[in-house]
Chain A
Amino acid sequence: MFRLALAYLRDRSLTTALNILLLAISVAMLVLLVQFGNQLSSRLDRDAQGVDLVVGAKGSPLQLILSSIFHIDQPTGNIPLDSLDMLRRDPAVKEAIPLALGDNFDGYRIVGTDASYATFYGSEVEQGKMFEKPMDAVLGAAVAKTTGAQLGQQFIGSHGLETEDGDGQGHDHAPFKTVGILAPTGTVIDRLILTSVESVWDVHGIEHDHNDHGGQEKAGQDHDHDHGGRHDHDTDDEALSARGGLQPELTAILVSYRNAAGAIRIPAMINRQTEMQAATPAVETARLLDLFGAGIEGARIFAWILAATGGLAIFIALLNMARAREGDLALLRVMGASKVQVFGTILLEGLITAAAGAALGIATAHAALFVASRSFQTLSDLGLSATQFLPAEFGIIAAVLLIGIIAALVPAARIFHINLANSLARTS
Chain B
Amino acid sequence: MLLEIENLHYNINEKPLFAGFNLSIEEQSHHLLVGLSGSGKTTLINLICGLLSPEKGVIRVADHDIASISESARDKIRREHIGIVFQTLRLVSALDLSANLLLAQRLSRGTTDAPLIASLLERLGIAHRARAKPHQMSQGEAQRAAIARALVTRPRLLIADEPTSALDETNTQQVADLLLECATDYGVTLLIATHDDRLTPVFPNRIALTEHMLKAA
Contacts and interface: CB of A to CB of B under 8 A. Distances in A.
A341 B72 CA distance: 12
A293 to B, nearest CB: 47
Interface stretch (B26-34, B102-110, B199-207): B102-110
30 contacts: A3-B99, A4-B95, A4-B103, A7-B94, A7-B99, A325-B93, A327-B89, A330-B89, A331-B86, A331-B91, A332-B92, A334-B78, A334-B84, A335-B92, A335-B103, A335-B107, A335-B149, A336-B104, A336-B108, A336-B153, A337-B107, A338-B72, A339-B71, A420-B46, A420-B51, A421-B43, A421-B51, A424-B89, A427-B89, A428-B87
A120 to B, nearest CB: 65
A8 B51 contact: no
B49 interface: yes
A424 B75 contact: no
Counting chain A CB atoms within 10 Å of each CB, which of B42, B46, B71, B94 scores highest? B94
B88 A427 contact: yes
Interface in A313-343: 325, 327-328, 330-339, 341
Interface in B162-213: none
Contacts of B99: 3, 7
Contact of B161 (A330, A335, A341, A428): A428
Contacts of B104: 335-336
B56 interface: no
B69 interface: no
Contacts of A337: 107
A421 B50 CA distance: 9
Interface of B: 42-43, 46, 49, 51-52, 71-72, 75, 78-79, 84, 86-89, 91-95, 99, 103-104, 107-108, 149, 153, 161
B159 to A, nearest CB: 10
A3 B88 CA distance: 24
A335 B89 contact: no
Contacts of B75: 333, 336, 338
A331 B46 contact: no
A16 to B, nearest CB: 12
Contact of B78 (A4, A7, A336, A427): A336
Nearest to B150: A335
B92 A334 contact: no
Given A334-B51, A336-B75, A421-B52, 10 more contacts: A3-B99, A4-B94, A7-B95, A8-B94, A331-B86, A335-B149, A338-B72, A424-B86, A424-B89, A425-B42
A420 B47 CA distance: 11
A330 B108 CA distance: 15
Contacts, number: 66
Interface of A is mostly: helix
A11 interface: yes
A4 B100 CA distance: 10
A10 interface: yes
Contacts of B103: 4, 335
B92 A4 contact: yes
A336 B103 CA distance: 10
A331 B107 contact: no
A334 B94 contact: no
A425 to B, nearest CB: 7
A428 B108 CA distance: 21
A268 B92 CA distance: 80
Contacts of A335: 79, 92, 103-104, 107-108, 149
B92 A328 contact: yes
Interface in A329-360: 330-339, 341
Contact of B94 (A11, A327, A339, A420): A11
Contacts of A4: 92, 94-95, 103
A336 B79 contact: yes
Interface in A1-16: 3-4, 7-8, 10-11
A39 B99 CA distance: 49
Contacts of B153: 336
A314 B180 CA distance: 46
A46 to B, nearest CB: 53
Contacts of A333: 75
B46 A421 contact: yes
Interface pairs A-B: 6 shortest CB-CB: A336-B79, A428-B86, A428-B89, A11-B94, A336-B107, A7-B94
Contacts of A331: 86, 89, 91-92
Contacts of A327: 89
A330 B95 CA distance: 15
Contacts of A330: 89
Contacts of A3: 99
Contact of A11 (B46, B79, B93, B149): B93
A425 B51 CA distance: 11
A378 to B, nearest CB: 49
Contacts of A341: 107
Contacts of B93: 11, 325, 328
Contacts of A424: 46, 51, 86, 89
A371 to B, nearest CB: 37
Nearest to B76: A336
Contacts of A338: 72, 75
